[in-house]
A and B are shown apart, each in its own frame.
Chain A
Amino acid sequence: MDYVKAFLVGGGICAVCQIIYDNTKLTSAHILVGLAVLGAVLGGIGIYEPFVEWAGAGALIPVSGFGNSIVAGMLLEVKRLGWLGLFTGAFEVTGLGLASAIIFASGVALLFDPKH
Chain B
Amino acid sequence: MEKSAYEERSRYQQMVTARTPKPKYAKNIALAYLVGGAICTLAQAVFNAFSGMSLTKLEVSAATLATIIALGAVVTGLGVYDCLAERGGMGAAVPISGFSNTITAAAMDFKREGYLLGMGAKMFVIAGPVIVYGLVGGFVVTLIRLAFAGISG
Contacts and interface: CB of A to CB of B under 8 A. Distances in A.
Interface of A: 2-3, 6-15, 17-19, 21-23, 28-29, 31-33, 35-37, 39-41, 43-45, 52, 56-58, 60-63, 65-67, 69-71, 74-75, 78-79, 82-83, 86, 90, 93, 96-98, 100-102, 104-109, 111-116
A14 B103 contact: no
Contacts of A111: 77
B134 interface: yes
Contact of B131 (A11, A21, A56, A98): A98
Nearest to B70: A104
A14 B73 contact: no
Given A43-B141, A115-B82, A70 B135 contact: yes
Interface in B123-144: 123, 126-127, 129-131, 133-135, 137-139, 141-144
B44 A57 contact: yes
Interface in B63-120: 64-66, 68-70, 73-74, 76-79, 82, 88-91, 93-100, 103-105, 107-109, 111, 119
26 contacts: A3-B44, A6-B37, A7-B40, A7-B44, A10-B40, A14-B32, A14-B35, A14-B36, A17-B32, A18-B90, A19-B25, A21-B90, A22-B23, A37-B137, A41-B141, A45-B141, A60-B47, A61-B97, A63-B130, A71-B141, A74-B139, A86-B143, A93-B62, A96-B62, A104-B74, A114-B108
B151 interface: yes
A91 B94 CA distance: 20
> Chain B's interface: helix, strand, loop or mixed, by majority?
helix
Contact of A86 (B40, B62, B65, B142): B142
Contacts of B76: 108
A40 B141 CA distance: 7
Contact of B96 (A31, A52, A93, A97): A97
Contact of B29 (A19, A28, A29, A71): A19
Nearest to A79: B152
Given A62-B94, A114-B105, A67 B138 contact: yes
B71 to A, nearest CB: 9
A104 B41 contact: no
A13 B75 CA distance: 22
